[in-house]
Amino acid sequence: MPCWLIIPGHYKNHKNCPYFNRLWVEKILAFSVAGGVVFFAFLVFLFITPNNAI
């Protein structure tokens, strides 16, 4: 991923790009994916549980 896409205005600091990607981009992606999975499971739980309770 190009550094200037991730850190606009700091694309000249090429040495910091892999460090930045490793620390933040992967964490943000991991948290967003995990959050989406948990949210989807929660929605499925909300929709399925009342039907089973009845």
Per-residue model confidence as pLDDT tens digits over 3-43 = 445 555 554 555 555 555 566 777 788 888 899 999 999 99
pTM: 0.42
Q: Report whether 25 contacts 1 (CB < 8 A).
A: yes
> What pLDDT was estimated at residue 4?
45
Residue that the structure tokens 């909300």 belong to: 46
**Which of the two residues, 45 and 50, has the higher pLDDT score?**
45
Q: What is the pLDDT of residue 1?
A: 44
Quote the CA–CA distance of 34 and 27 in Å, as a whole number. 10
- The pLDDT score that the predictor gives to residue 10 is 52
25, 6 in Cβ contact below 8 A?
Answer: yes
**C-alpha angle 28-43-24 in degrees, rounded to nearest 5:** 0
